[in-house]
Amino acid sequence: GIPFINQYKRTHQYGWAFFHFAVLWLLCKRGSCQVRYSIQEELPLGTVVGNVVKDVGLDKSGLVDRNLRIVTGTKQDLFLVNQRDGALFVNQRIDREDLCGKTVQCLINLKAVIENPLEIHYVTVEIVDVNDNAPIFPDKDYRLEISESAMSGARFQLEGAHDSDVGLNGLLIYKLSQNDKFQLEIEELSKDSKNLFLVLQKPLDREHTPQYNVVVTALDSGNPQKSVIISHSYPLARALTPNPPGMLAEQYL
């Protein structure tokens, strides 16, 4: 079978990383092992991911003479290995978004090379997203001029927010501040893409209220949840052509 092992952070010379754990997946065939760990991004430098030597079943005695090293194939040394005890640890800041963007699965492939005799073991480290980015609107506020003769049901498209995180951490929810004139309508294009529309609910009166201000809040679905707000102002004009109910207005934020 394939064992799964929880590896809690060890102190040694690497320091503490509270609540950190790595999940180990191990498969060995013909003397070469494939080891897979899963860790969160942004762990402190020196955090132990796992013990490569122990996890592939090698003897630690005489390890220094066997020149254990990690080969990455890139200029980045995100991980290093302790040649005395085989501990694989974080060597550089790991930002999942910088490494893999919006890719669902972020994998770093390494080779653990041991000499005398030569052995090569394959190590994959999965970088798990943490909710370290808040949603962002392109601008802090928007201003749109609307005709006071606009009919109920007229829709005005809003520009949505962006979140660099993936999965639930990047899944956005929108809310509109309480008001009696406008309603927020969300059109689902895909799991990660939405169109936002402000829909007029009641007729407008420029003499009574020359301008309306509403606030749109974007929240992600991560834990802890992060949010951003944006202010929309709508001055009313007399001469603009109204949009029939159900038709999209030609003004965009």
- Pick the more confident residue, 191 or 211: 211
Give the pLDDT score at 27.
65
Q: How far apart are the first and last CA of the chain?
A: 57
Residue with tokens 């689902």: 188
Q: What percent of the chain has pLDDT over 90?
A: 43
Give the pLDDT score at 233.
74
Long-range contacts of residues 24-32, Cβ cutoff 8 Å, at least 24 apart: 24/50, 24/55, 26/2, 26/55, 26/56, 27/2, 28/56, 28/57, 31/119, 32/119, 32/120, 32/121, 32/122
| Range with the poorest average pLDDT among 2-11, 89-98, 208-217, 220-229 | 2-11
Give the pLDDT score at 111.
95
Q: What is the DSSP string of 205-217?
A: -TTT-SEEEEEEE
Tell me the whole-structure pTM to 2 decimals.
Answer: 0.71
Phi-psi group of 25: left, alpha or beta (phi > 0 → left; psi -120 to 50 → alpha; rest → beta): beta
Give the fold, CATH level 3, of 35-128.
Answer: Immunoglobulin-like (2.60.40)
- DSSP annotation of 70 reads E
Of 81-85, 135-139, 221-225, the range with the highest mean pLDDT is 81-85
Where in the sequence of the chain do the CATH 2.60.40.60 domains occur? Answer: 35-128, 142-237
Give the pLDDT score at 142.
82
Mean pLDDT, rounded, for 36-56: 93
In the chain, DSSP assigns E strands to 4-8, 21-29, 32-40, 48-51, 69-71, 79-81, 87-90, 107-114, 119-128, 141-143, 146-147, 155-158, 172-176, 182-190, 193-200, 211-220, 227-237
Residue with tokens 């005395």: 84
Give the pLDDT score at 28.
64
Architecture of domain 142-237: Sandwich (2.60)
* CA–CA dist 109, 74 (Å, integer): 10
Give the pLDDT score at 14.
41
Kindly report, residue by residue over 193-249, the tens digit of the pLDDT: 789 999 999 988 888 888 888 899 999 988 888 888 887 776 665 533 334 433 333
Give the pLDDT score at 193.
78
- DSSP annotation of 30 reads T
Give the pLDDT score at 11.
35
* CA–CA dist 195, 10 (Å, integer): 47
Give the pLDDT score at 237.
58
